[in-house]
Structure 1
Amino acid sequence: MLLAIDAGNTNVVFALVDGRQIKARWRIATDPRRTADEYAVWLSQLLALEGYDRSQVDGVIVATVVPRALHNLQVLSSKYFKTEALIAGRAPVEWGMAIDVDEPASLGADRAVNTIAAHALHTGDLIVIDFGTATTFDVSDYSGAYKGGIIAPGINLSLDALVTAAAKLPRIAIEKPASASVVGRNTVDQMHIGIYWGYIAMIEGLVERLRREIARPANVIATGGLATLFEHNTDVFDVIEPDLTIQGLAMMWERAHMG
């Protein structure tokens, strides 16, 4: 089985993949100081809880946007899984797609992997929205070429900034407001409205502008942990693919081993 690792700015996601089937997934807070030994103890316990063993892992692939976290993940792979980790974007798992932007090398690994997976699963021009630490909008054309996108503050980041900067505002959960009204009657209700409906308005507005600029029909694919929070209150998403990055890593692994 394959251990696919997506190291983001907030969390590192580990997924056990058999073919294209995700058997288990776990996440841990991103900390570049975390050692391979610490990862191994934590991961071995979780594997055992799911009925698996380290010996069943015969491949590891990593995508990371945190360069300082990479070394310890590579050591984890070689020391505890007895295999050299493949790094997404490096030989033999290069992107294999045109990156039509001003600075191709600056494209984040997660965004590249999402684009690869999205085009393997869907046809035509695509807009991939990933709800992570930042909310990213990635545009690719019908040929699979990456054309660029948008980076906006993630919803948790926006809320943290609001609470930190305004001394009297409380920390609230990110959830749909209890009332359908957008006229809040108290501070907490007003914050829920601003964060939730304000974020939906941003998503819908940016997608509308992107579609106008693309000037062809474009499907919108949502991914990331918070995508499902919005799906019932906007029709902007054509499909939600919660495990798009992991699926992309599994596809890249297959491609590397099929020659």
Structure 2
Amino acid sequence: MRNLVVDIGNTGTKYGVFENSQLVKQGYFEAKSQLPEVVANSTFDNAIVASVAKETQNIRQELSVRGKLLELTPQAALPINILYKTPETLGVDRIAGAVGAKFLFPQRNCLVIDAGTCITYDFTDNQGQYHGGGISPGINMKFKALHTFTGRLPLVQQTSEHFPLTGQTTQESILSGVLAGTCAEVNGIIQAYEQKSEDLLVILCGGDAGFFETNLKGRIFVIPELVLLGLHRILIHNA
């Protein structure tokens, strides 16, 4: 069985190829015209496409699939129970991350932190009940906001693993405010969930996961392919 999962994000698209439930290939592209050969020139048994921002029709039309071609929506059948009050507004990437966490750690309370364009926090308990979480601006969004909504602050585009706590230039001060401030935010959210949830497991994914892995305190599992794994479990659940 050869399956394909496609995760269309705010800034780019990730894909994963699964053979007999094993992730054997994954990649990233920024535009439809860059659809990789391994995807465009292959036929798959089943496929799932999920998007947080863009239409999926163009990509779906270019895929060759023998069996089910599923577009993930909040109404799709899921292997977890959604308790979110407005499930129709719930991002499909958040759903997939929660499913991936429960697939890997079925008996644990899981907090998934997806650090990308936005930073999302998603809590699923040890009974497979998804409760919800939070959404805040990601690192690059904060850098851009400081530049866009002020008259003189420069655009900083450097996500450094090592940054000053006390900035001695304007650029260093922006690095400190954004990076130290975001680390404090994430640490605070983790501590709050630890206080309400015993045996909490924190899982980190997303484009800025490497930065947080270096700078966050405590034991955190970094699983970059978490959303792809979750999408594949949803595909299997619906196939």
For 1:169 and 1:20, locate their aligned partners in 2 and report how far apart those are by CA, in whole Å. 47
Residue 125 in structure 1 maps to residue 117 in structure 2:
no
Other-structure match for 2:10: 9
Q: Which amino acid aligns with 2:51?
A: T
Residue 47 in structure 1 maps to residue 58 in structure 2:
no
Other-structure match for 2:49: 62
Q: For residue 128 of structure 1, report the CA deviation from its aligned partner.
A: 0.4
For 1:99 and 1:90, locate their aligned partners in 2 and report how far apart those are by CA, in whole Å. 9
Other-structure match for 1:223: 205
For 1:231 and 1:124, locate their aligned partners in 2 and report how far apart those are by CA, in whole Å. 21
Higher helix share: 1
Higher strand share: 2
- Deviation sequence 1:90-124 (CA, Å, 0-9, x none): 78x51132111222222211111111110111131
Other-structure match for 2:142: 158
* Among candidates 88, 113, 122, match of residue 138 of structure 1: 122
For 2:124 and 2:162, locate their aligned partners in 1 and report how far apart those are by CA, in whole Å. 37
Give the alignment's TM-score, normalised by structure 2: 0.88
- Identity level (%): 27
Task: Say what the alpha-carbon RMSD is for the aligned residues.
Answer: 2.3
Unaligned 5+ runs, structure 1: 30-38
For 1:53 and 1:9, locate their aligned partners in 2 and report how far apart those are by CA, in whole Å. 21
Q: For residue 252 of structure 1, report the CA deviation from its aligned partner.
A: 2.1
SS of residue matched to 2:15: strand
Residue 72 in structure 1 maps to residue 58 in structure 2:
yes
Q: Which amino acid aligns with 1:22?
A: V
SS of residue matched to 1:69: coil
Please tell me whether the aligned partners of residues 4 and 246 of structure 1 are also in contact (alpha carbons under 8 angstroms): yes
For 1:137 and 1:53, locate their aligned partners in 2 and report how far apart those are by CA, in whole Å. 33
Unaligned 5+ runs, structure 2: none
Q: For residue 56 of structure 1, report the CA deviation from its aligned partner.
A: 4.2
* Among candidates 192, 197, 221, match of residue 239 of structure 1: 221
- Larger mean CA deviation between 54-63 and 192-201 belongs to 54-63
- Larger mean CA deviation between 111-120 and 94-103 belongs to 94-103
- Deviation sequence 1:14-69 (CA, Å, 0-9, x none): 2333232231312215xxxxxxxxx3x532xx326xxx872343332111223x51
